[in-house]
């Protein structure tokens, strides 16, 4: 998956929703941790959009139990439709239940199968101070092909700090994806691409949101396009 430009992903636990995403999305984020039988769903997938697979750990806001979590992702990246995989920064640095060795093995396995690696950080409680935001983005981008940072905004100052960190990281040559969760940060999902964010996430159906403050796919696609298109 090519992240030298903005990639809008439709987040879903149901790959049968892929046809409804084609008009607006560049890819599908398959939330394997929220699916009933994710590997069977991958085997049956015959959609047109490439897949970014996520098997989010419980300790970072997902539903996947730790046992077998990374092995499932290793199997997933062997599918031709899978062009990117999400791995948590805490897993790669050994600061979570997952050992760094296992997470690093997944990263190498993904690259062996030509899948990009998105290294992610999520903070569901706050927006860290500006210096910490920059450090998290640097660390995540260094560990993967894209460094993803999702924080929780409580006011406009939080969103400004995130957008500033996004711009600084991009100006330094790092490939990052950023967004602020929660209502105060909702607009960052549309605005962050202007500051260099390379991935956006949105559900096809608003009822199926996978994170707080997400726009539905059609709305986010429209907003990003309007902001990116100069007025005549």
Binding residues for 3-dehydroquinate: 29-31, 56, 189, 210, 214
Which of 90, 40, 102, 92 minimizes the C-alpha distance to 62? 90
Which of 211, 205, 177, 206 minimizes the C-alpha distance to 8? 177
Among 79, 109, 113, 148, the active-site one is 148
- Kindly tell me the burial class for residue 48, based on how many C-beta atoms sit within 10 Å of its own C-beta (0-12, 13-18, 19 or more): exposed
Among 24, 79, 109, 122, the active-site one is 122
The kind and range of the H/E element at 71 are helix 69-76
148 is an active site residue: yes
Find tokens 């039988």 and name the residue: 37
Pairing of strands 146-152, 176-181: parallel
Residue 151 bridge partners (DSSP): 180
109 is an active site residue: no
Find tokens 């994170």 and name the residue: 211
CA distances, 36 to each of 18, 61, 213 (Å): 17, 17, 25
| Interatomic CA distance for residues 215 and 11, integer angstroms | 11
- The radius of gyration of the chain from alpha carbons, rounded to an integer in Å, stands at 16
- Binding residues are 29-31, 56, 189, 210, 214
- Kindly tell me the burial class for residue 25, based on how many C-beta atoms sit within 10 Å of its own C-beta (0-12, 13-18, 19 or more): buried
Q: Which residues are catalytic?
A: 122, 148
């Amino acid at each position: 998956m090519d992240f030298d430009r903005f990639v809008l992903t439709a987040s879903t636990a149901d790959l049968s929703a892929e046809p409804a995403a084609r008009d607006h999305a560049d890819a599908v984020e398959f939330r394997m941790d929220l699916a009933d039988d994710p590997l069977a769903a991958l085997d049956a997938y015959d959609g047109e959009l490439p897949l970014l697979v996520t098997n989010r750990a419980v300790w970072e806001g997902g539903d996947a139990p730790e046992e077998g979590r990374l092995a499932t992702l290793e199997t997933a990246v062997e599918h031709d439709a899978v062009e990117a995989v999400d791995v948590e920064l805490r897993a790669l640095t050994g600061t979570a239940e997952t050992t760094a060795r296992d997470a690093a093995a997944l990263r190498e396995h993904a690259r062996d199968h030509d899948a990009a690696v998105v290294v992610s950080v999520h903070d569901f409680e706050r927006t860290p101070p500006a210096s910490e935001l920059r450090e998290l983005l640097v660390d995540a981008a260094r560990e993967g092909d894209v460094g993803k940072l999702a924080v929780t905004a409580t006011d406009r100052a939080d969103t400004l700090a995130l957008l500033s960190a996004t711009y600084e990281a991009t100006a330094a040559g790092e490939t990052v994806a950023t967004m602020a969760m929660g209502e105060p940060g909702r607009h960052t999902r549309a605005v962050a691409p202007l500051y260099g964010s390379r991935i956006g996430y949105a559900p096809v159906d608003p009822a199926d949101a996978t994170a707080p403050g997400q726009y539905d796919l059609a709305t986010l696609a429209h907003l990003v396009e309007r902001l990116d298109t100069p007025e005549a």
